[in-house]
Amino acid sequence: MDVDDEQGTQQQPRKPTVVPVDDAHPFELENYISGYTGMYSTTQRLTAVNACTGRTAIDRLIHIVKLCPDIAPEAFNLAVQHIHQSRDPSLYQTLATGYEYLVGSKAVKDGSYELPNPSVIAQLDPKWVDDVTAKNQSEKVRLEVELKTYTNNMIKESIRVSGTPEV
């Protein structure tokens, strides 16, 4: 997708670069995941990471995995832990794609960073995937039946009300 600047010339969209994390560029992964809530002691960090669960934490971790090879393995592992707490096993595929994107980046290919295989870092439990998928499917069926019943009852009530003469 091309982007027009102020003069009307087209320029290519910027691709994200690899973000370094070292002493000169510190990054607190726990603070980022917890929603920028400030500095913590070691025990408070664990509480903060556990407090920010759900899709936002997973999305933030996937973003880190895509851009930061220095802490990508740690972020990958945390993301898998958060995915295990969610109800969406397809997020693992998104995470794996993000990790592959980082592995394919120029900085990693040049040998500047050594990244382990994602299956060495953390794996998704296939039994958990099957259980969650079955649970999601049964919940979907239950909700569809409930919606159909409610709709039918509303139609019946509408017919009943419209059939009564007004006094």
pLDDT value, residue 130: 92
Q: How far apart are CA 81 and CA 71, in angstroms?
A: 16
Across the chain, what does the average pLDDT equal? 78
Percentage above 90 pLDDT, the chain: 19
Among residues 129, 16, 35, 24, the alpha carbon closest in space to that of 83 is found at: 129
CB 71 within 8 A of CB 64: yes
Q: How far apart are CA 34 and CA 51, in angstroms?
A: 7
pLDDT value, residue 167: 60
SS3 119: helix
The pLDDT tens digits of the residues spanning 139-155 come to 999 999 999 999 999 99
Q: How far apart are CA 53 and CA 149, in angstroms?
A: 34
Identify which of 9-13, 106-110, 134-138 has the greatest average pLDDT: 134-138
pLDDT range class, residue 41, cuts 50, 70, 90: very low
pLDDT value, residue 38: 42
The pLDDT tens digits of the residues spanning 65-109 come to 888 888 888 899 889 988 988 888 899 889 988 888 888 877 777
| Residue count (the chain) | 167
Which pTM was predicted? 0.67
How far is residue 90 CA from its own chain's centroid? 9
